[in-house]
Amino acid sequence: MARLGFGQINLGKDTTFCSSLVNPQIGTKLTITGGSLNVFYTWSCKYILGNRTYTASNFLNNTTVASPIVSNLPSNEWLKFILTVFQNSNIYKDSINIRVSQFAYTTGFITRYLSFGDSIELNSTQIGGGITPLKFLKWEPSTGIKKPFSNPAFYKQVLTPFGQSLQIDAYVTDSVGCEGSNMAYEIRFQNPSSLNDIELSKTEIFIRNGELNFTNENQENVSVSIYKTSGEKVLSLNTDKSKVSINALKADLNEVLICYLYFNTSKKNKTIKFLSL
């Protein structure tokens, strides 16, 4: 705060801008009380990077107005701006520290290949920078994610056509409330033809006389899901038996279907591709 004639000038508190803010301005909290309002302004600063010196004109769109637009600030560093106010033959000054919260993102992301019902742990946000400490905010899209506001979290493959992919973004917030997001995972849904040969073993799963047969020696509770290749579910049930009737499936003759079995006790899964009857 500084005197201006019989009054005062005040630039207010030091300020942090989020990098997502469009056309942030410095001096918007400037108050001039008492004295004459017929004044002139000049902004100044000095920033040294290596052997180069930057001044206010490198960061402000106009150094002679009360509230210029700020740009090109160094990431996450305080920069001191001084406002000089001229009133008649009097000169008064006040200063304010400004910084911009800028997140740093990696260019890479993690790719995972899933079949229906598979789960993976999400635990990599690929985001740094900002005004530390950072706090995890959410995963998006949240469909299929258990506890989408937690890190780590778990994603389970939901109804999505085979051969397609899903981008999962991570969001964080920093200590001043700025948000950052980045693509963290690419989930690719396996085409039936790429399913593991072991999963397709006819010795463990097979079709006979309109029934789906599978090995269930311990009579576990088994979740049975059958999908079309478009991702549409045509059957969902639980059983402790070792066979399920598939005569009533709503599918076209000889349509390719995918059956996913999840053994709820042993936490194992099996998958088979077959043609509808």
Structure confidence by residue, pLDDT tens digits, 228-256:
766 777 888 899 888 888 877 777 766 77
Residue 91 neighbours by CB under 8 Å, 6+ apart: 84, 85
176 versus 87: the higher-pLDDT residue is: 176
The string of pLDDT tens digits covering residues 59-70 is: 999 999 999 999
φ/ψ (deg, to 5) at 194 = -100, 5
Residue 168: pLDDT band with limits 50, 70, 90: very high
**CATH C-level class of 196-275:** mainly beta
Question: What's the CATH fold of domain 2-101?
Answer: Immunoglobulin-like (2.60.40)
Which pTM does this prediction carry? 0.62
125 versus 2: the higher-pLDDT residue is: 125
Residue range(s) in the chain whose domain bears CATH number 2.60.40.3080: 196-275
Residue 35 has pLDDT above 60, yes or no: no
Amino acid at residue number 117? G
Residue 170 has pLDDT above 80, yes or no: yes
Pairing of strands 110-114, 179-189: parallel
Alpha-carbon distance 224 to 244, whole Å? 9
Residue 267 has pLDDT above 60, yes or no: yes
Residue 202: pLDDT band with limits 50, 70, 90: very low
| Of residues 179, 172, 1, 144, the one with CA closest to residue 83 | 1
Residue 122 neighbours by CB under 8 Å, 6+ apart: 139, 145, 151, 152, 153, 154, 155, 168, 170, 184, 185
Average pLDDT score over residue span 15-23: 94
Residue range(s) in the chain whose domain bears CATH number 2.60.40.10: 2-101, 103-189
For the chain, percent helix, then strand, then coil, each to nearest 5?
0, 50, 45
276 versus 176: the higher-pLDDT residue is: 176
HSE, CB side, 13 Å, CA atoms: give it for residue 188: 11
Amino acid at residue number 189? F
Residue 136 has pLDDT above 70, yes or no: yes
CATH superfamily of 103-189: Immunoglobulins (2.60.40.10)
